[in-house]
Amino acid sequence: MNNLDESLLTPLALFSKLDRAQIRTILDLATPCRFDLGATVFEEGQEAEFFYLLLDGYVRVVRLTPEGDQVIALHIPSGHLFGIAAALGHTTYPATSVAAAECVCLSWPMKLLQEFLTTYEGLSTGVYGAVGQRVEDMNNRILELATQQVEQRVANALLRLVQQTGHKTDEGIEIGFPITRQDISEMTGSTLHTVSRLLSAWEREGTIKSTRKKIVVTDPHKLVRHST
Amino acid sequence: MNNLDESLLTPLALFSKLDRAQIRTILDLATPCRFDLGATVFEEGQEAEFFYLLLDGYVRVVRLTPEGDQVIALHIPSGHLFGIAAALGHTTYPATSVAAAECVCLSWPMKLLQEFLTTYEGLSTGVYGAVGQRVEDMNNRILELATQQVEQRVANALLRLVQQTGHKTDEGIEIGFPITRQDISEMTGSTLHTVSRLLSAWEREGTIKSTRKKIVVTDPHKLVRHST
DNA sequence: CGTGCTCTTGAGTGAAATCAACACATGTGG
DNA sequence: CCACATGTGTTGATTTCACTCAAGAGCACG
């Protein structure tokens, strides 16, 4: 029996339909864990032993091609589940997960997932809703990759990052975790050179400010114009 | 009460865990329907009223960008469910579905989907397994679009079509429904001109044979070489 | 027997990758 | 504390892949 506080879960939309006792039960089965920036939570193809709830930080989901190119599939913000492969019939993880910032998580053995979903009616709606959200994101990503130019894709990627992870500073909205040109190129199917050129141009025209691993969007409206 | 024969569903993996009585019940709630080649089953954004089981034919799932570009997300082969938006928390269809060949379907009111999933334990595994399969496909598609050249993407698209819909003829394996260069370009984020050039080149080297709306792969191995 | 679709092919162009070189920051170990 | 390696970012020059533009040929259907 661990002593995790119920207030960890009660504010999360995912658990909003559960009562205190149910949350207590779930919490008592959880194992807390921490990951340093850059640490790997699990790798593509591994037996899917655990699923996770991200309490704080950001997790980056990446895939690797046989040729060695890396593609960033999505970023998970705190409060969301990840590694829920088994809910969709997988027994191995379909992608690698890496901590994009210091991360605090809870984990449960994968076999509990099916149990949770059937036992706690309210949970499955939320879980499958989240899956649906990700499917939609992926769909939009495909649309973008198939029809848009690199400039638009990079602008869209930044806008999404700002929207999902941004926090206000006195200069504008800053992306919530360290991110490199290389990372952005892997999110957009591009190269770090092209991304660097674009960001330089945008910095010159006053749309963003950027230092090493940090990007602040000062004029989101201009970015939106670049995105269409 | 309609008189649909139970043998429509019994061979399908999706229903393999249900007994005769359960299949009878489900079947009695179904409405059969037919779609001509090119007919629209439902459109993106519409209220999701029904979900469908494709008994025969092929359904093409397409999305439209604000700029009017069309992208083909995937093809549904017979025996599979489609329009199951509600299982992932959507109330509207996330994409448009068009008959890529003559289609025969069964349809059910969407509100029955939740009911079926909770009532028939064995069904939900299959349904979510299918969703997982599609998520994986989409993921691979993203990887392809982000890292591969047009030639490789077209080769992969053809291989997938052959695998999923192909049937043997005396010349090779033929794709199971009429398909144009334009269609292939919309599957690969390319243009009909580039696809035409590639197919011409492959025909010259003896990899495929193609006439209007028809493609026969005569040498799959060569195609595999073009795909990597 | 014209009127759309579908497909082909050539020529020119352009967006973004590649190639190449350097600048700057960060952290490490001697 | 400095020397050095490493990771990150910038920018120019060159190249190439695939798109755009353009024209025409073949087929299918009313």
According to DSSP, the β-strands at A167-168 and A81-82 are unpaired
Q: Dihedral sign for Cα B155, B151, A64, B145, please.
A: negative
CA angle at residue B208 from B205 to B214, to 5 degrees? 145
B107, B108, B96: which is closest to B39 by C-alpha? B96
- pLDDT recorded at residue B122: 85
The set of strand D positions with any atom below 7 Å of a protein CB reads 8-13, 17-22, 27-28
Question: What does the alpha-carbon distance between residue A177 and residue A99 come to, in Å, rounded to a whole number?
Answer: 10
- pLDDT recorded at residue A122: 85
Reduced to 3 states (helix: H, G, I; strand: E, B; else coil), residue A91 is coil
Which residue matches tokens 């079926």? B116
Which domains are assigned to chain A?
A: 6-145 (2.60.120.10), 148-226 (1.10.10.10)
Which chain A residue is nearest to residue B65, measuring alpha carbons? A143
A65 touching B, CB under 8 A? Answer: yes
B91 touching A, CB under 8 A? Answer: no
Nucleotide nearest to B180 (CA to C1'): C6
B1 to chain A, minimum CA–CA distance in Å? Answer: 32
Q: How many CA atoms lie within 13 A of B65 on its CB side?
A: 18
Question: What does the alpha-carbon distance between residue B42 and residue B44 come to, in Å, rounded to a whole number?
Answer: 7
pTM of the model: 0.93
- pLDDT recorded at residue A215: 97
Tokens of A190: 């591009």
- pLDDT recorded at residue A3: 80
- Is residue B192 exposed (0-12), middle (13-18) or buried (19+ Cβ within 10 Å)? middle
Contact A142 B71 (CB under 8 A): yes
> CB of A32 within 8 A of CB of A2?
yes
Counting as low any pLDDT under 70, the low residues of chain B are 1-2
pLDDT digits (tens, 9 = 90+) for B136-157: 999 999 999 999 999 999 999 9
- pLDDT recorded at residue A49: 96
Residue A33's contacts (CB-CB under 8 Å, 6 or more residues apart) are A104, A105, A106, A107
- Going residue by residue through chain A (228 aa), what tens digit of pLDDT does each one get? 568 899 999 999 999 999 999 999 999 999 999 999 999 999 999 999 999 999 999 999 999 999 989 999 999 999 999 999 889 999 999 999 999 999 999 999 999 999 999 899 889 888 999 999 999 999 999 999 999 999 999 999 999 999 999 999 999 999 999 999 999 999 999 999 999 999 999 999 999 999 999 999 999 999 999 999
Q: Pick left, alpha or beta for residue A62 (phi over 0 → left; psi -120 to 50 → alpha; otherwise beta).
A: beta
> CB of A227 within 8 A of CB of A159?
yes
- pLDDT recorded at residue A121: 84
Nucleotide nearest to A180 (CA to C1'): D8
Which chain B residue is nearest to residue A84, measuring alpha carbons? B132
Tell if B200 CB is < 7 Å from nucleic strand C.
yes
Residue A195's contacts (CB-CB under 8 Å, 6 or more residues apart) are A154, A181, A182, A184, A185, A188
Tokens of B67: 């700029």
- pLDDT recorded at residue B147: 97
